[in-house]
Amino acid sequence: MNEVIRTQLNHRTIRKFKTTPVGPELLELILDVANKTASAMCLQHFSILRITDPGLKSKIADISGQAYIADMPELFVFLVDLYRNSLIAKEAGLDTYLNSMHSFLSASSDALLAAQNVNLAAESLGMGGVFLGSPLWKIEEFIEVLDLPMYTFPILAYGFGYPDEEPRMKPRMAGEFKFFENKYPALNGIKDNLKDYDREMGTYVDLRNPGKPLRPFTEQVAQLSTLLNSKQPRMMEALKKQGFCVEDRD
Amino acid sequence: MNEVIRTQLNHRTIRKFKTTPVGPELLELILDVANKTASAMCLQHFSILRITDPGLKSKIADISGQAYIADMPELFVFLVDLYRNSLIAKEAGLDTYLNSMHSFLSASSDALLAAQNVNLAAESLGMGGVFLGSPLWKIEEFIEVLDLPMYTFPILAYGFGYPDEEPRMKPRMAGEFKFFENKYPALNGIKDNLKDYDREMGTYVDLRNPGKPLRPFTEQVAQLSTLLNSKQPRMMEALKKQGFCVEDRD
């Protein structure tokens, strides 16, 4: 056990923040951490759009349907970014740059590794935050409101600041159901095998919402599946519109 | 500055390892870190396949075209995983679970945040490692050799252990070209503006390969673009074959 792992194991989502701003030196440090994160072939296919304009933040809160976003001290949108290097390629006289689904996924990995590093850096500095999936849920709206160039794609957002709440950690499924050796197992009777976890999740109390206990995990899965299936965003269209090739080359 | 950020800023890729194995207690700790990583709606749409079988490891080294993989003390394959919850949904009587491109990308975020957390946990324990993009480059071969079920997808691998080399950190592009406020800038004349970085990259010496200096960054970009464009894997076909819906719903 050490300070890094202690910080990692202590992760919890923070949605309510003190008004204390994040100082410029700490911001610079956090961005430096993002910059030093591993990147596939060091092509650095990601960018961060920091949202400071209150009007823009409000719009993002509206689009996301999460009012508290408007009050977040810091809001970073992580972009998959093949645009910057496509400009370099163009200046070098090349007609096209990488825009396949493979390049998109590889660039997503650059962006998301950096996102977790930013999250942990913030937590190590006594801050907390929340990853926002709303860029993907509202992909067309996000691309429009952020006025993003081709070959960029908002894959995840992260809001952070100094916590003004202290939630309990949400229980996770035991490792035996997630971490396997050499062969992915059959997972027969998974619902039954998750009984303990179901019970644990059912007794978890979110201190921000103490009157509303969570449903057992396997019930959440079924419920969310039904709820979310009908709300899937038009992801392929959005990818295509941003210039990513959504078909394999022959 | 603190221990977390110091570790993050000190990241470098390690490809050569001592034969010292990673002890079971440290492995458990690292997997616990993976398990506690943020997850979208806590649906925990990822798994880790730990490769310990030397035969399987050799096959992966072959497929990847990277011989040193066979000797890695630890090798984790990070899976996007909607299979586990699809079993739960099925047991609950639902016909389908989430398998849209949106769900795939959201699950990728679960997997990749965990991957970075694992990397940092290992580094904090005096280990080092390397992210391997070969699962994506050789997607069909990986799915086959790992015998993966539907709704799973190997998005990234990570090999780690105790370092037997001490490479210098590879220089990164200055933050001004990656981190923007409110609006993505035009980035006019990017090649010219990256002159300093080009020079820095051109004088970086990889101690593992001291006789072979790197080319300036903007030249690497142009060169890699030409090289990689012709080698793009059939990603859409692989996604489809694994059960992910590669078309938007009407």
Query: Which DSSP string do the residues of B20-73 spell out, in sequence order?
Result: PPPPHHHHHHHHHHHHHS--GGG---EEEEE---HHHHHHHHHHHT-GGGGG-S
Residue A209: its pLDDT value, please? 77
- Which residues does chain B have within 8 Å of residue A122's beta carbon, measured at their own beta carbons? none
Tell me what percent of the residues of chain B surpass a pLDDT of 90: 92
Of residues A48, A136, A248, nearest to B106 (C-beta): A136
- Alpha-carbon gap, residue B13 to B169, rounded angstroms: 8
CB-based contact B191 A91, cutoff 8 Å: yes
- Which residues does chain B have within 8 Å of residue A190's beta carbon, measured at their own beta carbons? 84, 87-88, 91
Residue A205: its pLDDT value, please? 77
Residue A250: its pLDDT value, please? 76
- Which residues does chain A have within 8 Å of residue B92's beta carbon, measured at their own beta carbons? 191, 218-219, 221-222
- Alpha-carbon gap, residue B235 to A103, rounded angstroms: 10
- Alpha-carbon gap, residue B8 to B95, rounded angstroms: 44
Range list of β-strands (E), chain A: 46-50, 74-81, 128-132, 152-161, 179-181
CA-to-CA separations, A152 to A46, A99, A139, in angstroms, rounded: 8, 10, 12
Residue A150: its pLDDT value, please? 98
* B204 pLDDT more than 90: no
Count how many pairs of residues, chain A against chain B, have C-beta atoms within 8 Å.
359
Instruction: Quickly state the pLDDT bin for A174 (edges 50, 70, 90).
Output: very high
Amino acid identity, position A159: G
Of residues A96, A222, A237, nearest to B88 (C-beta): A222
CB-based contact B116 A116, cutoff 8 Å: yes
CA-to-CA separations, A169 to A172, A208, B38, B43, in angstroms, rounded: 9, 12, 10, 15
CB-based contact B136 A169, cutoff 8 Å: no
Q: Beta strand B179-181 with A46-50: parallel, antiparallel or unpaired?
A: parallel
CB-based contact A124 B232, cutoff 8 Å: no
- Residues A44-73: what's their mean pLDDT? 98
pTM confidence score: 0.98
- Residues A87-109: what's their mean pLDDT? 96
Note whether A108 contacts B: Cβ–Cβ < 8 A: yes
CB-based contact B112 A117, cutoff 8 Å: no
CA A83 to mean position of chain CA atoms? 20
The answer to whether B135 and B156 are in contact (CB under 8 A) is yes
Residues 6+ apart with CB under 8 A from A214: A201, A202, A204, A206, A220
CB-based contact A182 B4, cutoff 8 Å: no
Instruction: Quickly state the pLDDT bin for B212 (edges 50, 70, 90).
Output: confident
- Alpha-carbon gap, residue B178 to B186, rounded angstroms: 12
Tokens representing B38? 């943020």
Residue B211: its pLDDT value, please? 79
Instruction: Quickly state the pLDDT bin for A157 (edges 50, 70, 90).
Output: very high
pLDDT in tens, A38-58: 999 999 999 999 999 999 999
- Residues A237-242: what's their mean pLDDT? 98
Instruction: Quickly state the pLDDT bin for A149 (edges 50, 70, 90).
Output: very high
Note whether A150 contacts B: Cβ–Cβ < 8 A: no
